[in-house]
Amino acid sequence: MSDARFAVDGLGFGFGDVRILDDATFSLDAGTVTALVGPNGSGKTTILELLAGLRRPDAGTIERPAGDGRDVAYLPQSPAFRPWFTVAETIGFYESLSGVDDSPAALLSRVGLGDVGDRRVDSLSGGMTRLLGIAQALVGDPPVVLLDEPTSGLDPDVTDRIFEATASLADEGRVVVVASHDVAAVEEWADRVLLVAGGAVVADDAPAALLDRTDTDTLRGAFSALVRTERTVPAGGED
């Protein structure tokens, strides 16, 4: 899994005349948490769906590392599961779907849900449901994990728990991409930031490097400066 490499070349996608991404080329390395950030409506969810293979790009290619049965894990924004099942049954369903014959207990323990396996899914809090989603993402040991706003609407403690779990996925050698508006968490947990705006990847660097490049103290300031620059510099004129 440590050799896993995720390469995107000339990626383009739009909804009719509205371009989400044009000619984007980047690669994602195993063992790192990459934060996908951008203004509202910049298409972060759509880009994650493209990376997951849930949408077909208009142009370009995506080369994903192959897993043993499951190549990509995807956790949608505000995930939910069939409410009539317990937490353990839900993971059991996904394990069976993946051809895995393990007990769900081990995966649930990894994300801190070991004590709630018998609880119905609809009795979980929002944070616990996200953790269940992350447990689901671990099923089948996929080399790529894509999480869409996994901490939106959650308190800082739960946010930290979720990013801790996310970082551990990367530590095990996976490519991890997290779309997020939580700039503080991104600053603390992400190894790399992909900033998208206006259909382009505006910045692609480590958080500290972005601060240096924009001469700002916070990532929020850095993002504002970078997006502002993107809006004022004509296409192709940045260099």
Partner 1 sequence: MARRPLFVVVDRELRSLARNRTLLLVAGAFFAVVVGLGGASMGSPGGYVSLTLDLLTPIEVLVPTVAFAVTYQSIRGDAARGELDVIRTYPVSRTTYVAGVFLGRAAALLLLLVASLTVAGVLAASGASQPSSYFATHAAGDTPVAYGRFVALSGLYLVVVTAIAVAVSAVARSRRAALAAAVALLILLAVGLDLAVMTLFTADAVTGSALGTLVGFSPASAFRGLVFAAVVEPALATPPPAPTAGVFASVLGLATWLVGALGAAVAAVWRS
Residues of this chain that bind partner 1 (CB under 8 A): 49, 52-54, 56, 69-82, 84-85, 89, 93-94, 96-101, 133, 136, 139-140, 142
What would the two tokens of residue 78 be? 């505000």
237 Cβ contact list (under 8 Å, min separation 6)? none
Gyration radius of the chain's alpha carbons: 18
**Which CB, 143 or 199, lies closer to partner 1?**
143
Crossing angle for the helix pair 87-97 and 126-138, nearest 10 degrees?
Answer: 20
Q: Which is nearer to partner 1, 132 or 197 (CB)?
A: 132
Q: Which is nearer to partner 1, 54 or 233 (CB)?
A: 54
Least CB distance from residue 73 to partner 1, whole Å?
6
Question: How far is the C-alpha of 207 from the C-alpha of 227, rounded, in Å?
Answer: 15
CB of 56 to partner 1, least distance (A): 6
Of 105 and 209, nearer to partner 1 (C-beta) is 105
One-letter amino acid of 1: M
| Cβ at position 200, least distance to partner 1 in Å | 25
Q: How far is the CB of 66 from partner 1 (least distance, A)?
A: 12
Report in angstroms how near the CB of residue 128 gets to partner 1 at its nearest.
Answer: 16
- Burial of 191: CB neighbours in 10 Å, binned 0-12, 13-18, 19+: middle
| Contact assessment for residue 203 and residue 210, using Cβ atoms and an 8 Å cutoff | yes
- CB closer to partner 1, 66 vs 184: 66
